[in-house]
Amino acid sequence: MFETVVSGLVIGAAYASLGLCVTLLARMGGVVNFAQTAIGLLGSYVVLVLCDLQVPVWVAASIGVLVGGLVGAFSGVIMARWFKDADVGVRSSAAIALMIGYLSIGTRIFGDRPRPSPPLFDGPGISLGGVYVSNGLLVSLAVSILLAVALNRYINRSHTGIKLQAFAAKPVTAELIGIPSSRLTVLIWSMAGCISALAMLIIMASSARNANYISLSLLIIPALCAALIGAFSSFYTTLLGGLLLGIFEAAALSWSSTAPYAQTIYLPVIVLILCWTKRKDKWDGQRA
């Protein structure tokens, strides 16, 4: 049981990191970013190409995270330029268009065959209760927890974070009082791009995820599910949701009868959450 939890936390921490990116943009940018994993993949696949060219892995990883940030910033420019005054539905539809575009570009450049990922976290891990805990788990957990704490503090306590909240709540008023909405939009998209590139790299470095480009892009589903658990607003609940999803997936994979359906656990979770969040409307309607 403990071994299942440990293996699930590795991938769950990466799901949580992706979910945190989705929550950040939903809360501060007013968009459900379906392109999040597509942006991260462009950065993480650059890392694989650089490693094939014998570039040291941490140099390659740094460049890949930077590429993810640049692609995110480019996406932010598009959103700030043409969709600044659009509602959340239009902006989210634009994010779907970005996802399709980035996937087309990525598969054209990198192909769609599985690529092995270099080990990111060499060195001895630790043993807990007779179960080996790798450095990969420790680092991915630390990254996701630190991200949740840092984003929460950044949004709620920093001067820029307060500006972002003002812009998200009242964009027209925020612009009238001099808050640079376009620059802030580019900033949060760039931040999310850097984080998603790192998260996708961690996922590909795990032994279970040497999948092809298109399959990896579908990890937007658990990312959205984690963000939905956090109601697209709470970083800490999104973190917990991502970790739990990873554990549930690992538990499903550990049983031969449920292993083929491990990737479908997100559908019932999404349905249950949506039904729970709409329960008040339903009950009020029945009482009326």
- 50: pLDDT strictly greater than 80: yes
Residue 233 forms part of a structural domain:
yes
Antiparallel, parallel or unpaired: β 126-128 and 131-133: antiparallel
Q: 247, 5 in Cβ contact below 8 A? A: yes
Q: 182, 201 in Cβ contact below 8 A? A: no
- 209: pLDDT strictly greater than 60: no
Residue 92 forms part of a structural domain:
yes
Round to whole Å and give the CA distance between 206 and 248. 17
DSSP code of residue 212: -
Residue 283 forms part of a structural domain:
no
For 136-160, what is the mean pLDDT? 78
Residue 224 forms part of a structural domain:
yes
Task: Name the residue among 243, 229, 64, 57 with its Cα closest to residue 144.
Answer: 243
pLDDT of 287 reads: 46
Confidence band, pLDDT 50/70/90 cuts, at residue 286: very low
Residue 257 forms part of a structural domain:
yes
Confidence band, pLDDT 50/70/90 cuts, at residue 129: low
Q: Which two tokens stand for residue 44?
A: 């993480």
Residue 281 forms part of a structural domain:
no
Residue reference for tokens 């598009």? 78
> Which CATH number belongs to the domain containing residue 132 in this structure?
1.10.3470
With a pLDDT cut of 70, the percent of the chain lying above it is 76
For 279-286, what is the mean pLDDT? 52
Residue 270 forms part of a structural domain:
no
More reliable by pLDDT, 36 or 176: 36
With a pLDDT cut of 90, the percent of the chain lying above it is 14
Confidence band, pLDDT 50/70/90 cuts, at residue 67: very high
Dihedral angle at the C-alpha atoms of 62, 65, 71, 74, nearest 10 degrees?
Answer: -80
User: Mean pLDDT, the chain, as a whole number?
Assistant: 79
Q: 201, 221 in Cβ contact below 8 A? A: no
Residue 284 forms part of a structural domain:
no
Residue 8's SS3 state is helix
Rounded CA Rg of the chain: 19
pLDDT of 63 reads: 93
pLDDT of 54 reads: 87
**Domain assignment of residue 202, given as a range:** 2-263
How many domains does the chain fold into?
A: 1
User: Phi/psi at 128 (nearest 5 deg)?
Assistant: -125, 115
For 122-145, what is the mean pLDDT? 64
